[in-house]
């Protein structure tokens, strides 16, 4: 899964059916310091993720499993809000500290 930061939101009134119940998040991968890097992409929110939270994003066909509908035309869904990330036993992100 991608290790990402929620950096924004997108809205769309003209879209394929079935997408309306979900918020469309704008995300970026993060570097070792937790800073967003690279190009932004979109994912469906299925866990109630908020701005600046660090999340796990499933891409490709398994993303449809996050909404329980294998016929939805999506390829990315946030499947978890991370509480803590440690790299080499060093705490690099803790949710409460950041808020």
Positions touching a second copy (CB under 8 A) are 1-3, 7-16, 19, 24, 26, 29-32, 37-43, 46-48, 51, 56, 58-66, 68, 70-77, 79-89, 92
Give phi and psi for 3, each to the nearest 5.
-105, 105
Specify the length of the chain in residues.
99
Query: Considering beta carbons, is residue 62 or 98 the nearer one to a second copy?
Result: 62
Give least dist CB 98 to a second copy, A.
14
Residue 79, CA atoms < 13 Å, CB-side half-sphere: 17
Give least dist CB 46 to a second copy, A.
6
Residues 6+ apart with CB under 8 A from 61: 70, 75
Give least dist CB 21 to a second copy, A.
14
Give least dist CB 99 to a second copy, A.
14
Extract long-range pairs of 88-93: CB within 8 Å, 24+ residues apart: 92/32, 92/33, 92/34, 93/34, 93/54
């Amino acid at each position: 899964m991608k290790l990402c930061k929620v950096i924004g939101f997108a809205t769309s009134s003209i879209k394929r059916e079935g997408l309306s119940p979900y918020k469309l998040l704008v995300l970026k991968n993060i570097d070792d310091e937790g800073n967003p890097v690279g190009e932004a992409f979109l994912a469906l929110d299925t866990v109630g993720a908020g701005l600046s939270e660090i999340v796990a994003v499933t891409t490709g066909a398994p993303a449809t499993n996050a909404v329980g509908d294998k016929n939805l035309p999506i390829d990315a869904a946030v499947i978890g809000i991370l509480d803590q990330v440690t790299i080499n036993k060093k705490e690099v992100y803790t949710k409460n500290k950041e808020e």
